[in-house]
Amino acid sequence: MNFELKALDLNALANDKSDAIIVLLADGFKPGKDKISALIAQVSKSGDLPVKAGKTLAVYHPALLGTPRLVLASIGDGSAKQTRNGINAAMASVKAVEAKKVTVAFTHAANAAALRAVVQGVADNTYSYTTTKSKGEPRKLTHVQIASSNAAALNSVFDRAVAIVTGVEVAKEWANRPANHATPTLLGKAAQALAKHPKISCQVLGPKEVAKLGMGSFMAVAQGSDEPLRFIVLQYNGAAKAKAPTVLVGKGITFDSGGISIKPAGEMDEMKFDMSGAASVLGVFATLAELKPAINVVGLIPSCENLINGRAVKPGDVVTSMSGQTIEILNTDAEGRLVLCDALTYAERFKPAAVIDIATLTGACVVALGNVRSGMFCADDAMAKALIAAGETAQDLCWQLPLDDEYADGLKTHFADVANVAGRAGGAISAAKFLQRFTEKKYPWAHLDIAGTAWKSGAAKGATGRPVGLLVEFLTK
């Protein structure tokens, strides 16, 4: 899908021959003397279009206009949230007629947040997964023109928004694929494909190389599956070598049965989404390839399946992590932290400016925050504030949760340096405390628990592509 930003007013828009024109009406709009304004004035006078954000009115073959379909959509105060409500409602009308070219026009000078909301809203509403369908229906919409009187001032914001959409859709694609179509080996190949872009390189390590590194915790999770593990190292080099990189670590469990601590059968199919952290790292690199910012970024993806065979790790087993710390595995379904901890130790070799791990880590985070905000843990105040601000800018929200030392008390054990789980209470926090012990005094670190935000269930089942937007805004601030 191609996006284009143009400086068009409503008078010029009257001659636009797109399959559909969506006009976004903010509160306080004062109609001019053009044809579209005259129609809006008539609609407003009749009361046919409520001013509440998300309300729409579709007009078929409007008189004297070049388009066969005009959709008027209220966007309230013009904020990102209300603009998103308006574009979501309007796109429902456009999808119904399978429009191929659409123009979305602001009646006022758009702000950056509203422009992002339109780009993201159009993309989300037209996304179509086809990879494993015999007769998949690809996205019908091929061209989107966004019109605003101040288009020239918004070019950089627009370019970033479009690039983020590219990354979000890469993340969606890989997270949506069934586990037999998104194995660790295939994730490695996806990363290698990204390395065809300038400034990106990729190394994929297999079981022998990982064993040589001493990643005993990661290998323990992988040993229950016949699929070989992969440790993926992506590097984007857009700045001088001396500039310390930011490292992103994405959990890449391509299917999570829970291991011997097996999950309930209901909705276990959704455990294909357990590699959404890894998918988001792939998505970020796809966006970096588009934007080409002057920064250095490393992406680490420890990827394997968590299954059950005769060699599968057992509750009570003790393994040795790459850091040398021993771990008692009390619950094999708390496997994400076991693969992440070795990747966090590996990250030290890059002498990073900061490290962020991204993981569908705990059901406890879903209970705490639902599907609106990702859980964010960070002991560095400046880094935490930057992540929150990046989430606000990207409309990809997170919420900071505590890291008090007392939350780690439940991880104490008589049989190893640390247990991999504590009690049920505060489970998202104790999981973060487990990870923190592999990062302390080594580099600034943050943990994003995306268990509630990485995918949707029910009728809208599918990956969201979060938190690609948040990460890109943080990296390129």
* Residues with catalytic function: 263, 337
* Backbone CA torsion sign across 115, 248, 227, 206: positive
Residues contacting residue 408 through CB under 8 Å, at least 6 positions apart: 422, 430, 433, 434, 436, 437
Give me 82's structure tokens. 């209300």
* Three-state DSSP state, 342: helix
According to DSSP, the residues that pair with 102 across neighbouring strands are 20, 144
Q: Which of 192, 116, 104 is nearest to 472 (CA)?
A: 116
Taking the C-alpha atoms of residue 126 and residue 400, their distance in angstroms, rounded to an integer, is 32
Strands (DSSP E) contained in 267-365 are: 296-306, 317-320, 326-329, 354-359
- Cα 377 to its chain centre, rounded Å, is 17
CA distances for 236 relative to 169, 229, 288, angstroms: 19, 23, 8
Cβ burial, residue 294 (10 Å; 0-12/13-18/19+): exposed
- Tokens 């059950």 belong to which residue? 308
Show the beta-strand stretches assigned E in 293-410. 296-306, 317-320, 326-329, 354-359, 374-378, 398-400
Q: Which region, left, alpha or beta, applies to residue 76 given φ > 0 means left and ψ of -120 to 50 means alpha? A: left
The answer to whether residues 237 and 204 touch, using CB atoms and an 8 Å cutoff, is no
C-alpha 87 chain-centroid distance = 20
Q: Give residue for tokens 């559909």.
A: 20
What is the C-alpha to C-alpha distance for residues 259 and 46, in angstroms, rounded to an integer? 62
Locate the DSSP E strands across 317-467: 317-320, 326-329, 354-359, 374-378, 398-400, 418-419, 445-449, 455-456, 462-463
Q: In angstroms, rounded to a whole number, what is the distance separating the alpha carbons of residues 474 and 280?
A: 14
Q: Give the Cα separation of 65 and 70 in Å (integer).
A: 9
Amino acid at site 269:
D
For the record, the structure tokens of 373 come out as: 């905000």
